């Protein structure tokens, strides 16, 4: 059981003791701190909320809603929704902020409060520190009875989101409709079953949905990794589909499967999208330090500049703003298109992948064959009371300082000639993540094993 408070929000397991898990008491206290912070900023006293389909979602929604109302903040509840839909709804509805109730790829016993500012972006590091200080102080000033916030439900925002995706200047909607692609979707029994088929049908695709019951009883580990998506790969092959799509529970990550059940993966989602965008718009690209070198390669191929950011959506967004990137995201399948909104979005990712397929007149397998081959391993080490992470990273840095280029903006990245290793404490789980990449499976496994042995 766990409870993680960070500058990006609050995440934990449901049940157990207050202060050690995400209990009703903790949900109320965290929401009250967020509401107090929002009111202090002078933003509109209105918050948009939405949730994925996990079993605790309705209960958490009620607690969050009542707490915000008690502060004099009105609530617009999108109900079952997606993270990018809530992000787009905040500025569209002129709200002061937003809260997405989702633990993303974590198992069903987890839930979280992901916090947005008035632009529909994740709150900054500085704002997060202010919010955590308010939480520690516990000094909340609740509204008088005549000043309580209102509550409304709004289920129109997914339609708005889809309309904006289809109207995007780089989405080849008519050409996609002419192709009539057959697409299989693994919706992992969450909000993807609501959002992705609706988008695909609007684009004229024939759609088959796996795990479409929106009950949060995830049919498999909800992180869209190859070992969890064997059913999708098999269905794409047996149905002779043109594309397979897997999303996480809140629909901000996108993994791809090609004809014949060929695993394209989440790392190459951003590469395929960037390849297409850069043929139509000149400008930089951005991904985080744990993302594939393949984005750098495709960016260089198009004569543009690649930049790396610290892990975390807010860090990628900040770097994108700084360099005026035309496309960016994270190698976990998170596509951030600034022409739509500055947040990871599997819907725009899906539409741009299909647009690349019709523009190039190639299958996703054929497109993948044009990109550099890299192989990635995503491993981890569980945190324990006797593990001093910072001291361990300092030791590893010293050990490899003469063999690798060192980057310490986010944990420790070791860039060897044959590949790289990135070590960092997770913001969402009690673990140290160990990501590695190289030009062969053997090389990356050797790199990861070598560095992991130092723990």
**Taken in order 160, 161, 165, 169, is the CA torsion positive or negative?**
positive
Alpha-carbon distances of 6 from 17, 196, 317, rounded to whole Å: 19, 30, 18
Distances (CA, A) of 111 to 1, 296, 348: 12, 34, 25
- CA–CA dist 438, 419 (Å, integer): 4
Exposed, middle or buried, 92 (CB in 10 Å: 0-12/13-18/19+)? Answer: middle
Q: Please answer whether residues 422 and 411 qualify as being in contact, where contact means their C-beta atoms are separated by less than 8 angstroms.
A: yes
- Pairing status of strand 110-116 against strand 97-101: antiparallel
Please report how the helices 346-360 and 192-202 are oriented relative to each other, as an axis angle in degrees rounded to 10.
30
How far is CA 341 from its chain centroid?
14
CA distance 110 to 86: 20
CA 188 to chain CA centroid, nearest Å: 15
Strand, coil or helix: 372: coil
Question: Which is nearest to 337 in space by CA: 323, 358, 322, 352?
Answer: 352
Please name every residue paired with 115 in a beta bridge, in sequence order, or none if there are none: 99
**Measured CA distances, 420 to 175, 316, 329, 398, 415 (Å):** 39, 19, 19, 16, 4
Which positions are catalytic? 104
Q: Distance between CA 93 and CA 87 in Å, rounded?
A: 11
Residue 337 CB coordination number (10 Å): 26
Burial class of 416 by CB neighbour count within 10 A (0 to 12, 13 to 18, 19+): middle
What gap in Å lies between CA 124 and CA 315, rounded to an integer? Answer: 9
Collect all residues with Cβ–Cβ distance below 8 Å to 446 and sequence separation of at least 6.
Answer: none
């Amino acid at each position: 059981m766990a409870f993680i408070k960070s500058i990006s929000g609050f995440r934990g397991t449901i049940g157990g003791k207050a202060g050690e898990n995400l209990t009703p008491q903790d949900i109320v206290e965290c929401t009250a701190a967020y509401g107090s912070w929002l009111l202090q900023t002078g933003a509109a006293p209105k918050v948009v909320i939405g949730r994925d389909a996990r079993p605790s979602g309705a209960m958490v929604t009620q607690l969050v809603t009542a707490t915000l109302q008690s502060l004099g903040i009105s609530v617009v509840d999108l109900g079952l929704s997606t993270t990018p839909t809530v992000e787009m709804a905040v500025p569209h509805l002129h709200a002061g902020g937003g809260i997405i109730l989702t633990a993303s790829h974590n198992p069903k016993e987890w839930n979280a409060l992901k916090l947005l500012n008035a632009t529909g972006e994740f709150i900054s590091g500085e704002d997060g520190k202010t919010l955590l200080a308010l939480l520690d102080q516990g000094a909340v000033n609740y509204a008088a009875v005549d000043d309580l916030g209102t509550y409304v439900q709004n289920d129109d925002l997914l339609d708005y989101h889809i309309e904006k995706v289809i109207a995007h200047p780089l989405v080849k909607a008519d050409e996609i409709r002419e192709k009539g692609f057959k697409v299989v979707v693994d919706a992992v029994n969450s909000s993807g079953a609501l959002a992705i088929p609706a988008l695909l049908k609007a684009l004229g695709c024939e759609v088959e949905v796996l795990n479409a019951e929106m009950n949060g009883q995830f049919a498999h580990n909800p992180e869209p990794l190859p070992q969890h998506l064997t059913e999708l790969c098999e269905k794409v092959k047996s149905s002779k589909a043109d594309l397979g799509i897997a999303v996480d529970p809140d629909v901000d990550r996108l993994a791809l499967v090609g004809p014949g059940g060929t695993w394209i993966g989440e790392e190459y989602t951003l590469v395929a999208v960037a390849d297409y965008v850069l043929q139509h718009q000149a400008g930089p690209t951005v991904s985080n330090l744990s993302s594939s070198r393949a984005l750098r390669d495709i960016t260089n191929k198009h004569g543009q500049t690649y930049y790396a950011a610290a892990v975390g959506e807010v860090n990628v967004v900040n770097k994108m703003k700084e360099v005026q990137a035309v496309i960016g995201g994270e190698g976990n399948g998170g596509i951030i298109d600034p022409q739509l909104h500055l947040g990871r979005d599997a819907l725009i990712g899906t539409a741009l992948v299909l647009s690349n397929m019709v523009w190039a007149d190639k299958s996703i397998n054929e497109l993948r064959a044009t990109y550099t081959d890299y192989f990635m391993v995503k491993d981890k080490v569980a945190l324990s009371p006797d593990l001093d992470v910072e001291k361990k990273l300092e030791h590893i840095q010293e050990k490899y300082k003469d063999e690798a280029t060192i980057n310490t903006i986010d944990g420790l990245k070791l860039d060897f000639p044959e590949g790289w290793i990135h070590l960092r404490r997770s913001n969402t789980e009690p673990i140290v993540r160990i990501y590695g990449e190289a030009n062969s499976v053997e090389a990356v496994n050797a790199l990861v094993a070598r560095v992991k042995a130092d723990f």
